[in-house]
Chains A and B, each alone.
Chain A
């Protein structure tokens, strides 16, 4: 599939240069140079101003320097203070659209002014334009005045031969349209390396944030523990209240029982006092009776009977006294018991009230627990709970809210950091994919280039090959030109091994091979034939004409100091002559 596709495919829509106008530039005062599609041969004697046309073309396209390191202002014609280079491109619609759609005129006019004071500026269609704008427009069509494979100025053969393989590849890449490719890869990788660095820092930050998250988790746990202890405290307070009530109820019961006992005892005492009173009364009656009997017997009874009576009376008196004492004691005890009962009854009322209050209080605090321990146990646990609460220290009331919010942010950032990491890996993977594509396409380009180069070299009795070296590493990858003259083995083209003519022939063969693959509709060669023998010169002119014919939508400008080779069949001649110090152009439609 690849072999069927022409590498560096030519754009369907071309931007062709129609005219170059030089004003006050070097030896030119005012010259209009029509440029045709196909081969344009710039002819004329040495010093007539042939190379100035290519130089004017390059500077007009935006080149910032001259080939010999001169200032641009040095190009202004002697005695003048301003020069102007105008390039007229064909912007007529091709296949329904203009080459530059945003320019709605049939011509695109790019002008560059050079002022003696070093002020240079561009115009596009007679309006001021930045160099970047000009570059942007030209770059779309692969026109790069700085690329030596597009516009090869005089003496550049040696420069090309001295290029490193890496620079050679990079220059070729730019010529075929990969103008920003390497910069973009480098910049993209740099950015992604920064992302990797950020990843490390973020990872470190997340580690620290994890510690903060843990702290907040501890705070939440503290809060939960505090709440749990508080709940327990409330339960204990309820239990304590119900325990208080139970104790009071128990006391009341005890008092009630005691009161009942006292009442019972009081009843018994009353009965016993009544018995004692009856006995006192009986004894008193008896005493009175015995006193009467004694009194009566004194007059009629003997001594023994009287003694007996007296003895009985004494006994009765004693019993009476004893009965009175007993009665008094019983009464006193009754009185004591009555007072005790009163006190118990007071205590009972008090206990009743306290019990009712405790019940009310306990009921208000909460329902009665199924199990109620004694007060000591409850108090002990309450104290322990209070200590537990005190040891928790300060509590952040909204710790849970803060923790949840922090955790959410943490999780979000962690998840997104993974996402960014994945994105980075994906883009890096895609860059690798693109590099694989680049490697494959450059390999094919170099293969095509090599075939074409070999063919051209063989046409002058030599041999050649183009190699893509070190494709694995883009920075080290390069293009190597190998040549062989006189049947020797293939050796690398450089500034030392080959003769000037061999170098010149090899470079031009390479240039022509490459120019058939490049995008730019404008290709120029300045005095490529200077070191060539007549036979090779003729052969190469034939090859140049072939290339021009193969690419009818491209303009070839070829500057030559010699005669037009006889082999040329179709070319426009731009004849340059110097008349009274001024270069003059004559056009020969078919040389």
Chain B
């Protein structure tokens, strides 16, 4: 029986190593076989092997899921479909698509004067479409302080204040609502703070693809000043 269990584990490992389509693998008969085997014995070493086999099953299911995700990419990356979708989209829909694809995240190392200057240039190039020239004037300042933001404040006071505000406003707000309707500078400042909130685990993003909306959800128990583990900060909600 031990040999049969080990054979099953080797078989599962071989399937994964072979690189073949994991979706073509029938799990149920193998799982039934495993269950039949484990019913024959009640020794710890067999429970250990049973779990080892189940671990391999879990890896296989994960591979199936990953394979399916890769396969499903044909549903949205087909250039012809994209071309058609773009051509058939209204300006509003294209703008929505841009907003959805825009990830307001940045790292401390990026927040240099030079990068801010480059960002300003980028935004300046867009001003004909969205931003009045007079609104951008204060951005010409020479340091982050011109935005009312400093590193220390980002990590401590300002960010925590925004986090508190988010919590006081129900703990869950649309991104645009949290950005507010203040001046461009104020909205930019809040966008930067939101990105830090997300990066530092004080909030997560919930995406509603069907309604094309992003929610910022306050998270409890985040450790001040320490980025979260490498986990997704974006959750898809239906």
Contacts and interface: CB of A to CB of B under 8 A. Distances in A.
A212 B23 contact: no
Interface majority SS (helix, strand, loop, mixed), chain B = helix
A474 to B, nearest CB: 11
B236 A180 contact: no
B52 interface: yes
A228 interface: no
Contact of A185 (B51, B57, B84): B51
A188 interface: yes
Contacts of A420: 23, 61, 64-65, 68
Interface stretch (B26-34, B135-143, B197-205): B26-34
Interface residues of A, number: 60
Interface in A166-205: 173, 176-181, 184-185, 187-189, 191-192, 194-195, 197-205
A187 B47 contact: no
B113 interface: no
A200 B44 CA distance: 36
Interface residues of B, number: 45
A208 B76 contact: yes
B65 A203 contact: no
A430 B75 contact: no
Nearest to A207: B210
Task: Tell which of A195, A215, A441 has the most Cβ of chain B within 10 Å.
Answer: A195
A430 B54 CA distance: 7
Contacts, number: 155
Interface majority SS (helix, strand, loop, mixed), chain A = helix
A204 B58 CA distance: 23
Interface stretch (B35-43, B176-184, B214-222): B35-43
A34 interface: no
A215 B88 contact: yes
A133 to B, nearest CB: 17
A479 to B, nearest CB: 15
A181 B43 CA distance: 13
A470 B130 CA distance: 61
B69 A434 contact: no
A214 interface: no
B76 A209 contact: yes
A366 B209 CA distance: 53
Contacts of B55: 184-185, 187-188
A5 interface: yes
A7 B210 CA distance: 56
A484 interface: no
B110 interface: no
Given A176-B44, A198-B65, A204 B209 contact: yes
Interface of B: 23, 27-28, 31, 34-35, 38, 42-45, 47-48, 50-52, 54-55, 57-59, 61-62, 64-66, 68-69, 71-72, 74-76, 80-81, 84-85, 88, 207, 209-210, 232, 235-236, 238
8 contacts: A187-B55, A204-B236, A207-B238, A209-B75, A420-B68, A424-B61, A426-B31, A427-B58
Interface of A: 2, 5, 7-9, 173, 176-181, 184-185, 187-189, 191-192, 194-195, 197-209, 212, 215, 396, 402, 406, 409-410, 413, 416-417, 419-420, 423-424, 426-427, 430-431, 433-434, 437-438, 440-441, 445, 519
Given A176-B44, A192-B61, 18 more contacts: A2-B42, A5-B42, A8-B44, A177-B48, A178-B48, A180-B51, A181-B51, A191-B58, A191-B59, A191-B62, A195-B61, A198-B65, A201-B69, A208-B209, A409-B75, A413-B75, A427-B61, A431-B54
